[in-house]
Chains A and B, each alone.
Chain A
Amino acid sequence: MESPYAIEMLNITKRFPGIIANDNITLQLRKGEIHALLGENGAGKSTLMSVLFGLYQPEEGIIKKDGVEVQIKDPNDANALGIGMVHQHFKLVECFTVLDNIIMGVEPVGHLGFLRKKEAREKVLELSKKYGLEVDPDAKIEDITVGMQQRTEILKMLYRDNEILIFDEPTAVLTPQEIDELMQIMRNLAAEGKSILFISHKLAEIMAVADRCTVLRKGKYIGTVNTKDTTMEELSAMMVGRNVNFHVEKKPAHPGDAILEVRHMTVASKTHNNNAVKDVSFKVRRGEIVCIAGIDGNGQSELVYGLTGLEPLTSGEIILDGKDITKASIRKRSVAGMSHIPEDRHKHGLVLDYSLEYNMILQTYFESRFTDNIGFLRRKNIRNYSDKLIDQYDVRSGQGSITMARSMSGGNQQKAIIARELDKQPELLVAVQPTRGLDVGAIEYIHKQLVAQRDAGKAVLLISLELDEVMDVPDRILVMYEGEIVGELDPKKTTQEELGLYMAGAKRDEVKA
């Protein structure tokens, strides 16, 4: 009898030193279905997928393909079984063309391994037509949109005749409209008989596209449900184990005078010839949270670079608390009252091989309380200060102040950064994706801190890619599209759909500063 399942992972257990990443997990993917895998960060989704791809060998459990047990020792085995994956961070070589990326690893070759690209191109164009995946095979990855990069990844799987397609958080980088397109593509693929595993923590998308949903929590299997028979609330409860407040509690804002005023800011792009930020003007006032929303790569990063002094402005000016800081150094801006929670805490926020206490003074080490007149560090003061912050902001670490930052959890690393930046008593807090990659508890904590900052009469500029965050946290939303601010929205009055139209550039207003 033929098995109804394309792939089955039965009773998988995978342990790492000190932690059980997968504890007796079972996942059964039916042929031709769209099956969602739901769980928070750290629930064990990526470990499970790594097991499926042979990157890890599980201690217990078996994998069956079409009802037959199989051994998967490395990605090649997975590929041979027809399993393909679109990774959250695309695995594309930026300076190669779309075509080269698609054929890489399974190149059609003639004598001595010389490439036969014509053959490959025909097959790619044929697939792209069949499934409605529009791409330009000769464009370089670095020059094309994120959407097209994702289509390239999908074509990569189809080119390999994969039957089991895995999508790892595929919507994080897309506009709502692009998300709709992707959903349609997934439905098309399923209709053609492909089996799809859809990894996500976005409930609405799962309800919209998936047939069934398996939920993981803290490495454990919670259950599998038909999406038709469940609700978002039920799924959410399964995912987090308790009912979560979806909305950030906050009182109405009472904005005061402007703390930050940006006038006609233009910042050149490092990778392209045109400007990344084009003639942008806006204000952030005391006692409000302003959010810059937009799809990744529309100039938000460059806006932050220009604001914090990492990149020079081509033109325009920045006024902070009445002072012109357009040409001021990073240090001067910091001293003038700007704090900054950087987007990438490992790359920019922390020196991972410094102790926690040394990280706590990264922005203030030169002040006289930490350095004496001849340039020696006042180590006792540093220790006391660090202990105080650890206590006040509840930063948890193995050995307190002397813990190496590298050995701390992501949430506590972020807490340390927040402690450091908020304790400076900044007039303006620039927070760039402050909740990225954190679990629900930490996200709640950070949102509360942002609101507390606002209620204390400070200005907060939040840059976010998460729609939920954009809708819930700020008092005003500015939408950025291709380097320009194309709309100002009131989160209480707008909808996700309207926001999406602005983010996709389909709608725009003339915004005055």
Chain B
Amino acid sequence: MKNLLKRPGVQAFVASVICILLGLIIGYIVLLFINPQGAWQSITDVVRNFFTWSRPPQRLKQFGNTLAKTIPLIMCSLSILFSYKVGLFNIGAAGQYVAGACASLYAALAWGWGWLPCMIFAIVAGALLGAIVGFLKSYCNVNEVISGIMLNWIALYTTNTILSNVKETASPYTLYLNKENPSALLPTAGLDQLFNKNTYVTIAVPLALIIAIAVAVILTKTRFGYELRATGLNKNAARYAGMAENRNIILTLMISGALAGLGASMLYQTGYMRWECTQSSVPAMGFNGIAAAFLGGLNPIGAVFSSFFIQHITDGGQYVNTNYYSSQISDVISSVIIYLCGFVLFIKLTINRMIKPSKEKKGEKK
């Protein structure tokens, strides 16, 4: 038991579970305050999400929906953890995600492009926005958090303006992809059959998993990853070792942006969602990506699971009893979880302190 707890991976997992439990408990307390009667039912509904459906086929279909939305979240959390390894906090992932949505939808609806070119266009758009942040950071010393936030808003308003050209006349929403240009929809490759004909489950699912693994490999096994992590851990030493710091910062943020942009394409090109051209706030996907990245212990594979969990409870929010509560209770829970992730270092220290006495005793025996 104690040997198990010594492993950093296990410690990260334990810390994440503690954060989740505390987050849920706090969510439950909030519900209790609002109305004690339905609180337990509602918090369990949040956690059960699609399991609240009694019929298995329905469950499967809803599971597919959650999965479809998990994919962009995975990409956003990969985006954030990738740049965090270099010591950069890419809060601009939200805006890069918006840019990706703008590019893929506009290419699909205005130009009638196929799914792959649309996807690549989204990647380029996200990368471009990331490159701006990187450029400002490395050549003008602008804090990436502030420039990221500013670009989030700029991207939002620009996207609203551009996508207004391809929206329905009667509503603020963009045109239906499956009616206007089905060729831009991502292929399902038979995956829809596994989820009760849920066509939102596409090749994006395996693709996202492959990318997560690729990110893990790049970070730990390659020269590029070696440089990035060295820069993140000690910027000065990396410079002394002749690593091209500015180039690496820009490159990292470009890759981050590309990941977030790709994430948007992986959602909007399933036809699951349409863009609302009057929306006045930046989609939460990029911010939830922060939660998923940190909850996953800043590990790409961990991010896959934590993304699913975050999306799971976010979707679960819609099952709360809306006579008393609102679905934003899941946002409360996930933001509490992000907050608690700030204490992960402390939790790990505490675990280490708990297992240490036994270690010292061993030393004395020798």
A and B touch in the complex (CB under 8 A): yes
Residue A449, interface by CB 8 Å: no
Residue B238, interface by CB 8 Å: yes
Q: Give the complex CA separation of A333 and B240 in angstroms.
A: 11
Q: Are B238 and A351 in contact (CB under 8 A)?
A: yes
Q: Are A377 and B222 in contact (CB under 8 A)?
A: yes
With a CB–CB cut-off of 8 A, which chain A residues contact B229? 354
**How large, as a class, is the contact surface on chain A?**
20 to 34
Q: Give the complex CA separation of A371 and B221 in angstroms.
A: 10
With a CB–CB cut-off of 8 A, which chain A residues contact B221? 376-377, 379
Produce 1/0 per residue, B226-269, CB < 8 A to A. 11011001101111111110000000000000000000000000
With a CB–CB cut-off of 8 A, which chain B residues contact A272? none
Q: With A352-B234, A362-B230 in contact, do A376 and B223 touch (Cβ < 8 Å)?
A: yes
Q: Are B241 and A363 in contact (CB under 8 A)?
A: yes
Residue A137, interface by CB 8 Å: no
Residue B224, interface by CB 8 Å: yes
Q: Give the complex CA separation of A331 and B238 in angstroms.
A: 11
Residue A365, interface by CB 8 Å: yes
Residue A111, interface by CB 8 Å: no
Q: Which residue of A lies closest to B360 (CB)?
A: A17
Residue A198, interface by CB 8 Å: no
Closest beta carbon of chain B to A350's beta carbon, Å: 6
Q: Are A349 and B223 in contact (CB under 8 A)?
A: no
Q: Are A375 and B224 in contact (CB under 8 A)?
A: yes
Closest beta carbon of chain A to B297's beta carbon, Å: 15
Main secondary structure of the interface of B (DSSP, over half): helix
With a CB–CB cut-off of 8 A, which chain A residues contact B360? 17
Q: With A353-B233, A354-B233 in contact, do A348 and B222 touch (Cβ < 8 Å)?
A: no
Residue A128, interface by CB 8 Å: no
Residue A342, interface by CB 8 Å: yes
- Residue pairs across A and B with CB atoms within 8 Å: the count is 67
With a CB–CB cut-off of 8 A, which chain A residues contact B237? 347-351, 362
With a CB–CB cut-off of 8 A, which chain A residues contact B236? 347-348
With a CB–CB cut-off of 8 A, which chain A residues contact B241? 330, 362-363, 365
With a CB–CB cut-off of 8 A, which chain B residues contact A353? 233-234
Of A309, A310, A334, A362, which is in contact with the most chain B CB atoms at under 10 Å from its CB?
A362
With a CB–CB cut-off of 8 A, which chain A residues contact B240? 308, 310, 330, 340, 342, 348-349
Q: Give the complex CA separation of A349 and B239 in angstroms.
A: 10
Produce 1/0 per residue, A376-417, CB < 8 A to B. 110100000000000000000000000000000000000000
Q: Are A331 and B226 in contact (CB under 8 A)?
A: no
Q: Are B223 and A334 in contact (CB under 8 A)?
A: no
Closest beta carbon of chain A to B260's beta carbon, Å: 24
Residue A329, interface by CB 8 Å: yes
Residue A90, interface by CB 8 Å: no
Residue A366, interface by CB 8 Å: yes
| Residue from the list B222, B233, B242 in contact with A329, Cβ < 8 A | B242
Q: With A375-B222, A375-B223 in contact, do A330 and B239 touch (Cβ < 8 Å)?
A: yes
Q: Are B223 and A371 in contact (CB under 8 A)?
A: yes
Closest beta carbon of chain A to B279's beta carbon, Å: 41
Closest beta carbon of chain A to B59's beta carbon, Å: 42
With a CB–CB cut-off of 8 A, which chain A residues contact B234? 347, 350-353
Q: Are B230 and A354 in contact (CB under 8 A)?
A: yes
Produce 1/0 per residue, A317-352, CB < 8 A to B. 000000000000111111000001010000111111
| Residue from the list A351, A358, A363, A376 in contact with B242, Cβ < 8 A | A363
Q: Give the complex CA separation of A310 and B239 in angstroms.
A: 8
Closest beta carbon of chain B to A252's beta carbon, Å: 34
With a CB–CB cut-off of 8 A, which chain B residues contact A377? 221-223, 226
Q: Which residue of B lies closest to A329 (CB)?
A: B242
Q: Give the complex CA separation of A354 and B85 in angstroms.
A: 13
Q: Give the complex CA separation of A370 and B223 in angstroms.
A: 9
Closest beta carbon of chain B to A20's beta carbon, Å: 15
Q: With A347-B237, A353-B233, A354-B230 in contact, do A365 and B223 touch (Cβ < 8 Å)?
A: yes
Q: Which residue of A lies closest to B241 (CB)?
A: A362
Q: Which residue of B lies closest to A335 (CB)?
A: B242
Closest beta carbon of chain A to B310's beta carbon, Å: 28
Q: Are A365 and B226 in contact (CB under 8 A)?
A: yes
With a CB–CB cut-off of 8 A, which chain B residues contact A370? 223
Q: Are B226 and A358 in contact (CB under 8 A)?
A: yes
With a CB–CB cut-off of 8 A, which chain A residues contact B226? 358, 365, 377
With a CB–CB cut-off of 8 A, which chain A residues contact B224? 375
Produce 1/0 per residue, A214-254, CB < 8 A to B. 00000000000000000000000000000000000000000
Q: Which residue of A lies closest to B245 (CB)?
A: A330
Q: Give the complex CA separation of A370 and B221 in angstroms.
A: 11
Other CB < 8 Å A-B pairs besides A17-B360, A310-B239, 12 of them? A309-B242, A331-B244, A334-B242, A348-B236, A348-B237, A348-B239, A351-B234, A353-B233, A362-B237, A371-B223, A377-B221, A377-B226
What are some 13 contacts across the A-B interface (CB < 8 A)?
Answer: A333-B242, A340-B240, A342-B240, A348-B236, A351-B234, A351-B238, A352-B233, A353-B234, A358-B230, A363-B241, A365-B241, A377-B222, A377-B226
Interface residues of A (CB under 8 A from B): 17, 308-310, 329-334, 340, 342, 347-354, 358, 362-363, 365-366, 370-371, 375-377, 379
